[in-house]
Amino acid sequence: MKRISILGATGSIGQSTIDLVARAPESYAVEALTGGRNVARLAEDARRLGARIAVTAHDDLLGDLRAALEGSGVEAAAGTTALIEAAARPADWVMSAIVGAAGLAPGLAAVETGTTLALANKETLVTAGPLLMARAQASGATVLPVDSEHSAIFQSLRGEDMATVERIILTASGGAFRDRPLEELHEVTVAEASTHPNWAMGQRITIDSASMFNKALEVIETREFFGVEPERIEVVIHPESIVHALVGHRDGGVMAHMGAPDMRHAIGYALNWPGRATLPVERLDLVRLGQLTFREADPARYKALALARRVMAEGGLAGAVFNAAKERALDHFIAGRIGFLRMADLVERAMDEDAAGADGAGAEITLETVTHADQVTRQAVDRMIGARAE
């Protein structure tokens, strides 16, 4: 029986994790589930799975959560501190699936217990990769990748020697606008950007896929997780989303990982690692697929990718600045205050201005310095567009 917790249980990754757990109730004891505003969903899942505690990130929703859990025996809690405490409760396996930099502190708290952390929250590695890895090493925690590309790399590397790895190739679907001319991207709507051709995901990562910010985050995530030099990481557009990533060795051999675009594969792999369980994902029919295609990720079109290179070159807190600026620009795009292409411009400007004083690889990466850089950068982005913080 594995004791598990799911941070961000009400989101897309959280719900896919629950789907797998609910199929084998005899194998899992659920410790904590956390969520945001959707307390009805959170309470229903906590009841169904017999969780010990359910936590909403919002203090004002504690009453609603308590009411929804009445008579269930599930403890209720709310707020940021409660979230971190829930993450630190003893568990064998913790899913980190909160979206954005908000996932950092709970993820770190989980890692400090020495648990196995299934890491979907890529922002943790982008903003504080060295910190996470150092804490994991100190506590003896295992960190497993859940992002599909990183799970694919991880699986392709099994039994291999990192010293023979020449290159890592991340595939990108190209998102909603892969076939739209660049000139038209000034005018695209939030609704259009929020539809993904292949994957069903939360709204924020779906828009990040269309802008290529998701792949930019993933390039940095690759660097932090696998410790490879930036120049060894490549990105290629692969519209079918069947090959999730490839690892090339010095003898010219390339290991590709393929599968249907369903996050339950990567989640299930992390849940059952080092073994493999039967998973309810579609099996590939190569003949029906017929062909798999690849094309260049045009640097003129995808400014986000160049910004990721800059983050890796700068090091230090550049990742925290980059991510915070991206998150805030995305807030403004979703709120209809700025156009789609303006997001990358704002991120670039935030990096130029460096209001957080993050410049230089020497900057110490702690939860405090990252949080400070994050807050200051969000304010800087608000100032740039003359918006008031919500």
The count of chain residues that interact with ligand NAD, using the rule CB under 6 A, is 26
Q: How far is the CB of 149 from Mg ion (least distance, A)?
A: 5
Binder among 32, 57, 61, 65 for ligand NAD (CB under 6 A): 57
- Residues within window 317-336 making contact with ligand NAD, judged by CB under 6 A: none
Give the CA angle between residues 146, 109, 325 to the nearest 5°: 65
E strands, the chain, in order: 2-7, 28-35, 53-56, 75-78, 93-96, 116-119, 142-145, 165-172, 233-237, 243-249, 254-258, 295-296
Q: How far is the CB of 149 from ligand NAD (least distance, A)?
A: 8
Between 9 and 346, whose beta carbon lies closer to ligand NAD?
9
Which of these, 171, 334, 338, lies nearest to 240 by C-alpha position?
A: 171
Binder among 35, 129, 145, 316 for ligand NAD (CB under 6 A): 35
Which range in 3-11, 125-133, 186-194, 221-229 contacts ligand NAD by CB under 6 A? 3-11
Which range in 63-71, 92-100, 282-290, 338-346 contacts ligand NAD by CB under 6 A? 92-100
Binder among 4, 14, 104, 145 for ligand NAD (CB under 6 A): 14
64 binds, among Mg ion, ligand NAD, none (CB under 5 to 8 A by kind): none
**Rounded distance between C-alpha atoms, residue 198 and residue 138, angstroms:** 39
| CB 322, CB 375: distance < 8 Å | no
E strands, 79-224, in order: 93-96, 116-119, 142-145, 165-172
120 binds, among ligand NAD, Mg ion, none (CB under 5 to 8 A by kind): ligand NAD
What contacts 232, CB < 8 A, 6 or more positions away?
A: 165, 166, 167, 168
Q: How far is the CB of 65 from ligand NAD (least distance, A)?
A: 12
User: Residue 99 interacts with ligand NAD (CB under 6 A)?
Assistant: yes
**Rounded distance between C-alpha atoms, residue 195 and residue 207, angstroms:** 8
Give the CA angle between residues 135, 140, 141 to the nearest 5°: 75
What contacts 175, CB < 8 A, 6 or more positions away?
A: 193, 196, 197, 206, 209, 210, 211, 212, 214
Paired strand residues for 178? none
Binder among 79, 202, 315, 339 for ligand NAD (CB under 6 A): 202
Between 11 and 239, whose beta carbon lies closer to ligand NAD?
11
Q: Coil, strand or helix: which one is 258?
A: strand
User: Residue 17 interacts with ligand NAD (CB under 6 A)?
Assistant: no
Give the type of residue at 382: D
Q: How far is the CB of 301 from Mg ion (least distance, A)?
A: 19
Between 122 and 354, whose beta carbon lies closer to ligand NAD?
122
Between 116 and 148, whose beta carbon lies closer to Mg ion?
148
Omega cis (within 30) before 274: yes
Q: Is the dihedral of CA 308, 381, 195, 259 positive or negative?
A: positive
Which range in 54-62, 147-155, 160-168, 309-317 contacts Mg ion by CB under 5 A? 147-155
| Polymer length of the chain | 390
Q: How far is the CB of 214 from ligand NAD (least distance, A)?
A: 7
Site mask for ligand NAD (CB under 6 A), range 133-162, x = bound: --------------x---------------
What contacts 265, CB < 8 A, 6 or more positions away?
A: 148, 151, 259, 279, 281
Residue number of the CB closest to ligand NAD reads 11
User: Residue 147 interacts with Mg ion (CB under 5 A)?
Assistant: yes
- In the block, residue with structure tokens 């800087």: 380
Binder among 169, 205, 242, 325 for ligand NAD (CB under 6 A): 205
Chain residues binding ligand NAD by CB under 6 A are 8-14, 35-36, 57, 83, 97-99, 102, 120-123, 147, 199, 201-202, 204-205, 263
